Amino acid sequence: VNKYYDLATSFYEYGWGESFHFAHRWKGESLRESIKRHEHFLALQLGLKRGMKVLDVGCGIGGPLREIARF
């Protein structure tokens, strides 16, 4: 099971990146930049502060949550 998920995660990150969603793009902004901006916006809207805990119960590989943790 671990080998499967390690392989699947690597495959998804290679093909999609860390996030499986899209965001509105501003002129001159890359897809990755727009997704990162959107994830930071979500963190701000949730009022997340350093040291708070968040549970990611969605599907995927946890990319948005990892980006929010870096934010």
Domain boundaries, the chain: 2-70
- Both tokens of 15, joined, read 């093909």
pTM: 0.72
- Residue-wise pLDDT for 9-65, tens only, equals 888 888 778 888 888 899 999 988 999 999 999 999 999 888 898 888 877 788 888
